[in-house]
Chains A and B, each alone.
Chain A
Amino acid sequence: MNPIIVTLLIVGGVLLLFIFILIMLFNRLVRERNQVKNAWSQIEVQLKRRHDLIPNLVETVKGYAGHEKETLENVTRARAQAVQAEGGPIGDQIAAEQQLSGALGRLMLVVEQYPDLKANQNFLSLQEELTSTENKVGFARQHFNDSVMTYNTTTQSFPSNVVSGMFGFKQEQFFEIEDKTEREVPKVKF
């Protein structure tokens, strides 16, 4: 066989293999980046649910502990701020959410003094919903950070870093929380 054709075939084969690997790496980066995006939207969904639960909770508590005005107003205010921060810069969102968590925590401490309220069916189911939503925010954040870690590792390590450089796959930021005790799954103490 003609040596030129043989060389051409070999070069072509190697080139094809290269393109194939490139496509695979590209797809992997896309998949992982989408996972990060999905994980983030899950956090937003859960935060929104928490905002939606609060007016109901405040109403229920008001029926039994109306004179705890300050605590209740704090929660309402913190919620308004958190709603306003929705969709804004991540830093603001985190700050607002932390404020809200603090206000809710204080409200739940106050609730301890009202046995009637604690026995109320409606309050109990709200309480379960709120605990669960807090947990979900925490788990969603955990999953988001895991996804970011996987994605970032891929963008940095060879050979996928070549592809990520070529097509502009940027690294993603972790959802960090300053307070070290808040780093784990958050919880409202009831």
Chain B
Amino acid sequence: MWEAIRRNRRRSWVLIGVMGTLLVVLGFVIGMALEPQAGGAIGAIGALILWLILFTVALLQGDAILLASSRARQISRAEAPQLWNVVEEMTIASGLGKMPRVFIIDEESPNAFAVGRKPETAAVAITSGLLKRLNRDELQGVIAHEIAHIKNLDIRFLTLASVMMGSIALLSHFFLRSIFYGAASRRGGSSRGGGQAQLALLAIAIVVAILAPIFAQMLYFACSRRREYLADASGARFTRYPDGLASALEKLAILSTGMKNVNKALAPLYIVSPLKGLAAAGLFSTHPPIERRIKILRSMGGRAGYVDYDAAYQKVVGTKSHLIGLRTLTSDSSVAAREPSAPKDSKKEAIDRAREVASILDHMAAFIPIVCVCGVRIKVPPELKRDTVPCPKCGRTHEVPHAEQRQPDSSADAASRPATAAEQPLTYRRTGEGWESFKCKCGKVLQLSPGLMAPTLTCRGCGRKVEIETPATQR
């Protein structure tokens, strides 16, 4: 795929150039309209400065802003082993040097995206709504698609271009506003200077200011749609299983409802458009129609190579032109797709998955789960100071799980131990094998993962050692 990367890079520069010109022209025309003598140059320079500022912010903060604005939380291997493994698998398949960080977004609307200017600092994020609806094969397809975005350097390009688009939109917006209010105030005033020439300039400026953002958006979105197809092709090739991605997209097509907390300019980074209604289709859509993407993946005829995707693309879209560069096509051979590894979804598995995702989310929020005898699952928030909670349904009182001070085994043993209470060991008795949380003496919530084997745990709040007793060691 080196060729695709190089070509992306070249295209990016052309696009950035065109958009940059558009921005400068817009600044120039606006400047001229406001001040015919020196305004043009000032306007152009002003536009460039605006772009520079936005660009610097985007470069320094882009990833963090996106992740923060979508309220994503980073997870570790222990928290979501399967998701972590799938990301690791796709990192290996794509030959990416470093595994991207993994984030989960607590959001019911199913979606996923990747961020990061460099592959080394990249991250992938997935909403809990999507995570709980996909089986392993489908998850693999989605992650492969996102990793392909990272590998093909799409993210850097999209960040650059979206900032450019943002500056154009901002400039036009300010200008049109000022004209609107300016005209209103001028009508009231007595000065009628300017003459015909300036009026004409003003008219031109208004037209440019209206058209420029539209043109910039069309350019941007056309490019991003092409990149979606390329990422799908890589996704099929990395997983050797196009049907996985196809079936994930089918689920997404049915369920996608548009997300809260979405920055419109960053929409192309998602696997399906996170926008609602009109913005999701046509010339201004960031993504190709999802039905078409599914159809291409489904008509690869049991093959998974770039050649096969390209052939399917030509057939479905009904075009003679290639999606993928000729050098990649000639050097890559058709490869067979593999068998599905996960059986068809059963209802039980779907429920299990939903439970698992729910427990990951609880864990991320540091809730302490208590299951009441009457069947109600109580989530105790970590801020709660009390030691007991009543069940909201049946009223039974439950003790919040906490570590206990261990009774000194023998006096000799106790004597040799430091006397300060802070350093006396605490014990917590595990009740099961799944995720468990309990409170340390200092009030900090500690969490145990199902795979935890360590006999002791150090509290992150007060630094005390807590011994973990498992049911097995008690036996």
Contacts and interface: CB of A to CB of B under 8 A. Distances in A.
Q: Do A and B come from one complex?
A: yes
Interface of A: 35, 39, 42, 46, 120-122, 125, 128-129, 131-132, 135-136, 139-140, 142-143, 146-147, 149-150, 153, 183-185, 187
B95 interface: yes
B95 A150 contact: no
B336 interface: yes
Contacts of B90: 139
A131 B95 contact: no
Interface of B: 2, 81-82, 85-86, 88-90, 92-95, 136, 238, 240-241, 331, 336-339, 341, 432-434, 450-451
A176 to B, nearest CB: 14
B85 A184 contact: no
Contact of B338 (A125, A131, A143, A185): A185
B81 A128 contact: yes
Contact of A132 (B85, B93, B94, B238): B85
Given A125-B451, A136-B92, A185-B338, A142 B85 contact: no
A147 B331 CA distance: 12
Contacts of B339: 184, 187
B81 A146 contact: no
Contacts of B432: 121
Contacts of B82: 128, 132
A42 B336 CA distance: 23
B136 to A, nearest CB: 8
Contacts of A140: 92
A34 B182 CA distance: 64
Contact of B341 (A131, A142, A149): A131
A187 B137 CA distance: 12
B92 A139 contact: yes
A187 B341 CA distance: 7
Contact of A122 (B88, B89, B241, B451): B451
A132 B451 contact: no
Given A39-B95, A128-B82, A143-B93, 7 more contacts: A125-B450, A125-B451, A135-B341, A139-B89, A139-B93, A146-B95, A185-B338
A72 B331 CA distance: 45
Contacts of A183: 336
B89 A135 contact: yes
A130 to B, nearest CB: 10
